[in-house]
Amino acid sequence: MSSFLQLQQELAEVLGENGTGNGFWSQSIKQRFLNLGVLDVMIRTRSGPLVTDTSLTTTVALQTYTLPSNFLAPRQLYVDGERHRRIDLERELELLGGDLDDATLFKSFKTSDIPKRFYRLDLTANTFSLLPIPAKTGLAIKWFYLKVPTTLSADADIPNIPVITHHLPALWAGWKLAYRDKDQAARGAQLRDEYLEGVRMANEFLNAALDDVESEWDLDKKFFADEPLTSTNFDIVGG
């Protein structure tokens, strides 16, 4: 387990500097890039503090809601106990715009007739949208998500990432800082390769048996069911 001080020492070694204070780059710049490195590791490995948030509830006919303030990346979303799957903007527009035969189901609030439930993230606006649009007020919205990592500041602070990835922020910071000096471009390329290989190995270890990572699409039980396709099976028919 590496403390913030140890991360700074590792970065000094990566950069060929003597000590953790000011060098070719100032100490504050190196500390800032180490914190950015922790963030990058968390995003690329989808690992870190998992938060459950149940503070939100639905409002009738309201589609868009504000994400939790410390939201980084989604894992799973449930509304009224029903899991929602993530879709992109194009898919949302298809469902709401009438391009599919059953799009009216999403406008009529007949949630009992809808075989699928979805959400779309807008990380720029810090919001998420629900489909179907809620027909009731007060339904529980339950988020499972990765939160933004705590900023490292004191020497004893520990990064909010798995121990097996604690060596990676220094590689990331070294890569990005070396690229800012033309004389160290080759070293930056080497650190980039080392970092990306470290991320790949960490993902193999961390996610080998992970079955709850949120994705754009997942397997659809209806796709494999012995039942005829109907107009409500738009997820299959629409492709």
At 137, the amino acid letter reads T
Q: Is residue 217 part of a domain?
A: no
Distance, C-alpha 87 to centroid of its chain: 14
Convert the pLDDT of each residue in 133-172 to its tens digit: 888 899 999 999 999 988 999 999 999 999 999 999 999 9
For residue 12, is pLDDT > 50?
yes
Tell whether 36 and 12 lie within a shared domain: yes
Instruction: Give CA–CA dist 222/69, Å, rounded.
Output: 36
Tell whether 25 and 142 lie within a shared domain: no
Q: Is residue 184 part of a domain?
A: yes
Percent of the chain residues past pLDDT 70, beyond the cut: 77
For residue 231, is pLDDT > 70?
no
Report, as an integer, the average pLDDT of 99-125: 66
Helix (H, G, I), strand (E, B) or coil at 237: helix
Instruction: Give CA–CA dist 168/201, Å, rounded.
Output: 11
| Token digits of residue 2 | 């590496």
pLDDT for the residue 228: 47
Distance, C-alpha 51 to centroid of its chain: 12
* Closest alpha carbon to 174 in 38, 9, 12: 12
Tell whether 13 and 35 lie within a shared domain: yes
Tell whether 82 and 136 lie within a shared domain: yes
Domain of 22 in residue numbering reads as 4-47+149-207
Tell whether 54 and 143 lie within a shared domain: yes
Tell whether 56 and 99 lie within a shared domain: yes
Report, as an integer, the average pLDDT of 21-31: 88
pLDDT for the residue 88: 84
Tell whether 66 and 140 lie within a shared domain: yes
Tell whether 195 and 120 lie within a shared domain: no
Q: Is residue 222 part of a domain?
A: no
Beta strands of 43-104 (E only): which ranges?
50-57, 64-66, 71-79, 82-86
- DSSP letter for each residue of 117-160: -EEEEETTTTEEEEESPPSSSS-EEEEEEEEPPPPP-STT---S
Which range, 111-120, 146-155, 180-189, 220-229, has the best average confidence (pLDDT)? Answer: 146-155
Cα angle at 47 between 81 and 50, to 5 degrees? Answer: 40
Contact residues for 80 (Cβ-Cβ < 8 A; gap 6+): 58, 139, 140
Q: How confident is the model at residue 229 (pLDDT cuts 50, 70, 90)?
A: very low
Tell whether 22 and 38 lie within a shared domain: yes
Convert the pLDDT of each residue in 41-83 to its tens digit: 998 988 888 899 999 999 998 999 999 999 998 989 999 998 8
For residue 233, is pLDDT > 70?
no
Q: Is residue 215 part of a domain?
A: no
pLDDT for the residue 237: 37
Helix (H, G, I), strand (E, B) or coil at 75: strand
Instruction: Give CA–CA dist 56/79, Å, rounded.
Output: 10
Tell whether 112 and 32 lie within a shared domain: no
Number of other CB atoms surrounding residue 127 within 10 Å: 14
Tell whether 94 and 19 lie within a shared domain: no
Tell whether 117 and 166 lie within a shared domain: no
Q: Is residue 228 part of a domain?
A: no
Query: Are the CB atoms for 230 and 199 separated by under 8 Å?
Result: no
pLDDT for the residue 97: 66
Q: How confident is the model at residue 188 (pLDDT cuts 50, 70, 90)?
A: confident
User: What mean pLDDT value characterizes the chain?
Assistant: 81
In this structure, what DSSP letter does residue 225 have? S
Please count the structural domains in the chain. Answer: 2
pTM: 0.70
Q: Is residue 131 part of a domain?
A: yes
Q: How confident is the model at residue 105 (pLDDT cuts 50, 70, 90)?
A: low
Q: Is residue 104 part of a domain?
A: yes
Bridge-partner residues for 142, per DSSP? 78
Q: Which residue has the higher pLDDT, 84 or 182?
A: 84
Last residue of a domain, one of 110, 127, 147: 147
Q: Is residue 56 part of a domain?
A: yes
